């Protein structure tokens, strides 16, 4: 399957619209032959023949043909646009769902601006292809055929002279198309780069301003705009070169008509009315000849865009549901087992995790400690199968995670991450995100358990308050408590807390830890934290170093080993010990 066949699949439901729009274009093109024909009769019968009885029939005929042209123009414009809009909607919907099916590893490698560019600008060019290309191309083709046919009827020798220029016109069209398509592919690619830079600049505006780097970031964006400008100039240069040639052909047609047709009229070989009609038809050839360039431009742009969309649609998800009957239990106990698990990110030869073996019983908690880059977050991401391990096996309730239905698996794993993401929606919608059918009472109960209800009620519209993009306007601790309420609401048997208190003060940390106590109660938990105060009550603590488990045990056991855990303890709590507060953790 190629891009054209893939796109035609979306156009198939609108095939009837396309056919009727094309037929309307053909009839519209046929009706434009009427005015010169009526003018021929007007000159020969009324002006030269002085037969006034032809006047009113000709006027009424002109009016009738104008009304019919309007009807066919409406049908052509409406049905072709409906077809284009329908294809646009289906392509966007399909690609959006496809993006949702792609694995985390894909998003680790692709730039957000590239995806936005494809789902906005590229899809719009595909819409224009189905809205305009068929009907505009049909108009050009039928006008050329009908006008030359009309000239053949009036004077076949003159029409033959005009047809002799067609091979040169065909060569010109092909040469233009061969050169302009790569130019527009380059424009689409550069436009995506520009969109990426713009997205990064807007999303990271606080960092840019905080470091006073507006000038440097602006210069980088200007450089991207310069590259886009240069690519557009290349395409414009092609337009500027070839379009005058299309006009030149139209001009040559006019010269041939006036020289040859005028000579025939002077010698009485054709009537004056026929010469006027032929001249009008010759002028009608100029418009479709000019439109050929526009049609080719639209074809080149939309083809380049369609190829980019097809490339995106061909990306294969690395994590899929099992081909056999997927495991989808109604109730999950929450036991987790890692058996000699190793993991490396795609494209990276150095393993992030090596030979990890763990066992977590239902309702028990595992705390994971280690330096930045030790593999803590990667270990947690393997449990809900956001990534696939490269060696070993991971099982939940005795079933390998690869045998689970991914949707069922992830619905039973609650995630509270260090960087909380909130949508530009109400507080209610953010908390109820995992359970769209939740009532206000359900949401409020979860918020109270997460110690979020009090501050939510102080917001301008309480639970109906719309938070800003990514939760702008809320503190880090408030966003974390909303995230905990969101996890509480789905009532997962297994919970993962990825350093949920790393970026808050001690007072807020105490509130969040109290909320997390509700969250962890009766659930299997994996907790990542840098602060030992968040780990000491875990049933088991493992210490990672360069992707390997170097220590494991409970809090007091690890203190007695005088290893990495003891060193971290000494760094974090030396001051408290000096002040006689050692008993807090000992």
Q: Which of 226-235, 237-246, 320-329 has the lowest mean pLDDT?
A: 237-246
Q: What is the pTM of this model?
A: 0.67
pLDDT in tens, 109-128: 776 667 777 777 788 888 88
Burial 31-40 (b: 16+ CB within 10 A, else e): bbbbbbbbbb
| Whether the Cβ atoms of residue 585 and residue 579 lie closer than 8 Å to each other | no
Helix axes 214-256, 156-163, angle to 10 degrees: 150
pLDDT in tens, 505-516: 566 666 666 666
The pLDDT mean for the chain works out to 79
**Between residues 84 and 519, the one the model is more confident about:** 84
In 3D space, the residue among 188, 180, 210 whose CA is nearest the CA of residue 305 turns out to be: 188
Categorize the per-residue pLDDT at 583 as very low, low, confident or very high, splitting at 50, 70 and 90. very low
User: Average of pLDDT values for 155-173?
Assistant: 72
Structure tokens at 443: 């949401």
pLDDT in tens, 17-53: 888 888 888 888 888 878 777 777 777 777 777 777 8
| Whether the Cβ atoms of residue 176 and residue 296 lie closer than 8 Å to each other | yes
Mean pLDDT: which of 125-134, 189-198, 400-409 is highest?
Answer: 400-409
User: Average of pLDDT values for 217-246?
Assistant: 78
User: Average of pLDDT values for 92-101?
Assistant: 82
Categorize the per-residue pLDDT at 332 as very low, low, confident or very high, splitting at 50, 70 and 90. confident
| Whether the Cβ atoms of residue 423 and residue 413 lie closer than 8 Å to each other | no
| Whether the Cβ atoms of residue 480 and residue 511 lie closer than 8 Å to each other | no
Share of the chain above pLDDT 90, in %: 3
Quick count: other Cβ atoms within 10 Å of Cβ 208?
A: 18
Instruction: Reply yes or no on whether the pLDDT at 334 is more than 70.
Output: yes
Residues 134-137: contacts with CB within 8 Å, 24+ apart?
A: 134/18, 134/21, 134/22, 134/25, 134/80, 134/83, 135/21, 135/22, 135/24, 135/25, 135/76, 135/77, 135/80, 136/291, 136/294, 136/295, 136/298, 137/295, 137/299
Instruction: Reply yes or no on whether the pLDDT at 129 is more than 70.
Output: yes
- From residue 48, alpha-carbon distances to 45, 280, 544, 567 in Å are 6, 18, 102, 112
Instruction: Reply yes or no on whether the pLDDT at 582 is more than 50.
Output: no
Phi, psi of 521 (to 5 degrees): -60, 120
Alpha helix ranges (H) inside 155-213: 156-163, 166-203, 205-210
Structure tokens at 526: 């994996």
In 3D space, the residue among 477, 586, 575 whose CA is nearest the CA of residue 532 turns out to be: 586
Domains of the chain: 3-313 (1.20.1560.10)
Question: What is the β-pairing status of strands 494-498 and 524-528?
Answer: parallel
pLDDT value for 202: 60
């Amino acid at each position: 399957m190629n891009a054209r066949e893939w796109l035609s699949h979306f156009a198939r439901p609108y095939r009837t619209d396309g056919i009727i729009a094309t037929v309307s274009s053909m009839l519209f093109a046929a009706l434009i032959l009427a005015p010169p024909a009526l003018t021929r009769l007007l000159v020969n019968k009324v002006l030269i023949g002085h037969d006034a009885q032809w006047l009113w029939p000709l006027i009424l005929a002109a009016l009738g043909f104008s009304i019919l042209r309007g009807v066919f123009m409406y049908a052509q414009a409406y049905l072709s646009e409906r077809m284009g809009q329908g294809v646009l909607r289906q392509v966007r919907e399909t690609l959006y769902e496809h993006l949702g099916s792609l694995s985390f590893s894909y998003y680790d490698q692709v730039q957000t601006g590239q995806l936005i560019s494809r789902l906005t600008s590229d899809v719009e060019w595909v819409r224009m292809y189905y809205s305009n290309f068929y009907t505009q191309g049909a108009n050009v083709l039928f006008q050329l055929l009908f006008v030359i046919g009309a000239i053949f009827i009036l004077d076949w020798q003159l029409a033959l002279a005009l047809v002799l220029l067609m091979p040169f016109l065909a060569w010109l069209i092909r040469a233009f198309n061969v050169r302009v398509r790569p130019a527009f592919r380059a424009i689409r690619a550069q436009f995506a780069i520009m969109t990426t830079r713009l997205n990064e600049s807007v999303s990271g505006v606080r960092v840019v301003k905080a470091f006073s780097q507006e000038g440097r970031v602006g210069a980088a964006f200007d450089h991207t705009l310069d590259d886009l400008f240069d690519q557009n100039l290349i395409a414009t240069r092609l337009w500027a070169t070839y379009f005058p040639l299309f006009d030149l052909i139209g001009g040559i047609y006019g010269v041939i008509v006036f020289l040859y047709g005028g000579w025939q009229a002077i010698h009485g070989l054709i009537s004056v009315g026929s010469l006027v009609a032929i001249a009008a038809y010759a002028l009608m050839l100029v418009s479709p000849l000019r439109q050929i360039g526009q049609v080719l431009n639209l074809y080149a742009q939309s083809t380049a865009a369609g190829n980019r969309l097809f490339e995106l649609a061909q990306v294969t998800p690395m994590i899929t549901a099992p081909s056999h009957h997927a495991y989808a239990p109604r109730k999950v106990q929450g036991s987790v087992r890692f058996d000699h698990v190793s993991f490396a990110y795609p494209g990276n030869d150095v393993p992030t995790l090596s030979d990890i073996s763990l066992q977590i019983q239902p309702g028990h908690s595992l705390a994971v400690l280690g330096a930045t880059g030790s593999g803590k977050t990667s270990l947690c991401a393997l449990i809900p199968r956001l990534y696939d391990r490269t060696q070993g096996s991971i099982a939940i309730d005795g079933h390998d995670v690869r045998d689970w239905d991914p949707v069922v698996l992830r619905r039973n794993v609650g995630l509270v991450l260090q960087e909380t993401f909130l949508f530009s929606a109400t507080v209610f919608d953010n908390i109820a995100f995992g359970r769209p059918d939740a009532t206000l009472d359900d949401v409020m109960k979860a918020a109270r358990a997460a110690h979020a209800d009090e501050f939510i009620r102080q917001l301008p519209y309480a639970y109906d308050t719309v938070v800003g993009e990514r939760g702008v306007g809320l503190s880090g601790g408030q966003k974390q408590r909303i995230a905990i309420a969101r996890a509480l609401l789905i009532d997962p048997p297994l919970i993962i807390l990825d350093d949920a208190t790393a970026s808050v003060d001690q007072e807020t940390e105490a509130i969040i830890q109290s909320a997390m106590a509700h969250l962890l109660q009766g659930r299997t938990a994996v907790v990542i934290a840098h602060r030992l105060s968040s780990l000491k009550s875990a049933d088991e603590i493992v210490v990672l170093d360069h992707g390997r488990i170097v220590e494991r045990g409970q809090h007091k056991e690890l203190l007695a080993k005088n290893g990495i855990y003891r060193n971290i303890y000494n760094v974090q709590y030396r001051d408290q010990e000096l002040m006689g507060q050692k008993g807090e953790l000992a």
